[in-house]
Chains A and B, each alone.
Chain A
C-alpha cells in the first residue's frame, strides 16, 4: 500500500509567452503542493499528477484569438485526457482563455468592452463553495483578487448563459460595480458541467501574501491543493 502524498503533485503548464507560471508554482508550493512546470511540447503530464494549472500570460502572443493557438500544443492533449478522466484543471486568465478555446469550459473571452488593458484589484463574490476550487471559501464570501488583462470579457449567448446559471456552473462573479471588462452577467469564473475544470480571469497566485495587499487568492489555490491531495490519496 502506497502512502498518500502529503504534497500533491500539481503540473503548471508553460507555453511560449506564459509569464505567471513561476508565480503560480511559488504560490502552490507555499500552499503545500509539489508544483512542477511542464513545457508545452510534452505530450504527457508528469507521473502522479493530481492537478493541473494553466497559468496566465500571452501564449503565442495572443495571435488570432487569446488561447486559440496554445490549445493545439501537445501538452493540451494530455490536459484534455486528464480532464476527461475527472482530473482537476484550473485555468487562470490566459489559462482560462485556452480552456474556453479548447471547449473544456463554456463561453469565450473577448476584448474588454473598454478596449483598455485593465490591471487592478477587483471585488468578487463566491457563488459556489461546493467546488474543488472554492472549498476554503465561505458561503457567498467576497474576495479581493487582482485582474490584469485586455481580453477578459466573458461572453455566452442567452441560451448558454441560462443553461450555466441553471446548472450552477457560475462559480465566481464580479461584485456589483466591479465588473472590469463587460463580462456577461458579471461572470469572473465558470466551471464545466462535471465541476472538475474551472477558469477565472482574476489572478489568485498574485494574492497569496499580505505584502501584496490580499491573501484571498490562497483560498482558491489552497482549495485546489486540498482537492488534489484528496484525489492523490484516492489514486495511491
Chain B
C-alpha cells in the first residue's frame, strides 16, 4: 500500500506529459477557440472560419507529407522549394490547359521526390542534408524557369482557387480528402505499416525483409507530390505564380505542425489528426495575435515557445 502511494507521484507526471502529448494540441485549439469567441469581435462568423481554413489548407497538405517523412525518422526540407517549382511550372504550361499543366507539375515533383528518396535510401545520405540540396537547388530551378512574379488569368485555375461546393471552398475539401487518404494509408495499408517499421528501426526492418529502399523513395515522392498540390492551390488562390516567395519557410511551418501534433521526430509513429490540429493551432495563434493588433514579432516568439513546449512534452516518449 505504502509502495503504491509512493509510486503515484512520478507516474502522474509521466501520465500528464503523455496526455499533453496526445491531446495537448486539441486542448490548445479548443482553448484558443474559446478565448477568441469570448474576446475577439466578429470571430464567430462563417466568413472568418472560411478565411482561416483557406489560409491553413496548404500548410495542412504539406504537413501531411512531412508527417509521413518524419514517421520514417527523416525530414524533408525541400517542400517549400517544391511549392515554388510547382508555381513556376504551372505558369509555364498553363497555356496547354490546366490538366496538362498539372501533369507536368506532378512529373517535376515526382522527380524531386525521387532524387531525395534516392539520396536517402540508395546512397545513404542523412535526410536533412539530402533534402537541403534540393531546398537550395529546387528554388533555383524554379527561378530559372520563371524569374519573377507572373499574373495568371485562367478561368479554370481561378475556380480551383476560389470556387466552392455548398459554401465549402475546394481548397478545404481537397485538404480534408487528402488528410483522410493519408490517415487511411498510415493506419490501414501494408505500406503504412512498413513506413512505421522503418521509422522504428531501419536495420530491423531491413533484416525483416521489408522493401526499405522502395518504401523510403515512395515516401519522399509522396511528400513532394503533396507539396506540389499545395503549391498549385496557393498559386490558384493568388491567381499569380510567385516562385520567389511562395513556400518560403513552409518546411518550418510543416515541421512545426507535425511536431506540435504529437508525432515524434524519432520516427515510428505518425499522428495525422494531430498534424492537422497542429497546423490549425499555429494558424489560430497567429490569427489571434494579429486580430488583437499584436505585432508579428509576438507571433514568432509565441510560435517558438509552442514548438519547444510541444517537443518538451514529447520528450522521452517513442524510442531513444
Same complex: no
